[in-house]
Amino acid sequence: MGVIDVHSHILYGVDDGAGRLEETGQMLQEAKKAGVSLIIATPHLYATDANVAGMQRVYSRVCEAFSDYGIELRRGFECNYRVLLDEKAETLLSYRIQGTDVLLLEPPRQYLPESWEPSINALQRLGIEIVIAHPERCLAVQEDISVAERMLEIGCELQVSAGSLYESMFSKTRKCALEMLKEGYISYIASDAHCVADYKVYAKALKQYGHMVQPDGLLKKLQTRQGERA
């Protein structure tokens, strides 16, 4: 059973990820070299008036164009926290990862608003499970690791991005990512890939740090379904 990448900007032309269909194909090839068997395509979602229909069309075209690559694709989104502030929780139901009740939620880079916990609780009451994308980039977490602990306590799972693990020696992002891995807070290392080179970094991270995470929640569900189809 291969690796499941829960966060990737592999869809071309929809955000700051792949620019062309050919680049998407190259990213898939590099992902396969890294042992990836399933990729969650998670374009940025900063507002619910984004061109979601266009993203869906690109996703469908990618699935059709690369159906023989041996990598399964699932549709999802990297939902920015500002959407929670601007919309009702019910609005986010349609942005869950395909075939799951999971929402990939991107926290703010600076400090979390006071309403962050009630906002997440409102999603959870609707049956939405939350995976926090790269909390190591959030200043609030960098300054106080107990913020990450609280995210776990209220039922969230945490995902570190591979590139964070290879920032400079003095990077607060790198230090935070490594500390959370050491403490066992991280459920997923993801590529967060925006280009082909990011999958090379992902392969390195899986080899060096993959033993420090355990499949949980989303991954267990997806792995079970993969096993059933095998």
pLDDT tens digits, 174-224: 999 999 999 999 999 999 999 999 999 999 999 999 999 976 666 666 755
Q: Which domain holds residue 65?
A: 3-223
**Whole-angstrom Cα distance, residue 6 to residue 219?**
8
Is 86 part of a structural domain of the chain? yes
* In-domain check, residue 228: no
For residue 230, being part of any structural domain is answered with: no
230 pLDDT band, cuts 50/70/90, is very low
Residue 171 contacts by C-beta under 8 Å, 6 or more apart in sequence? 164
Number of separate domains in the chain:
1
The answer to whether 135 touches 173, Cβ cutoff 8 Å, is: no
Tokens of 113: 């608003």
Q: Is residue 116 a part of any domain in this protein? A: yes
This prediction's pTM: 0.94
Q: Is residue 68 part of a domain?
A: yes
* 141 in Cβ contact with 135 (< 8 Å): yes
Per-residue pLDDT tens digits for 69-122: 999 999 999 999 999 888 999 999 999 999 899 999 999 999 999 999 999 999
Check which CATH number belongs to the domain holding 20 and give it: 3.20.20.140
With beta carbons less than 8 A apart as the criterion, state whether 157 and 132 touch: yes
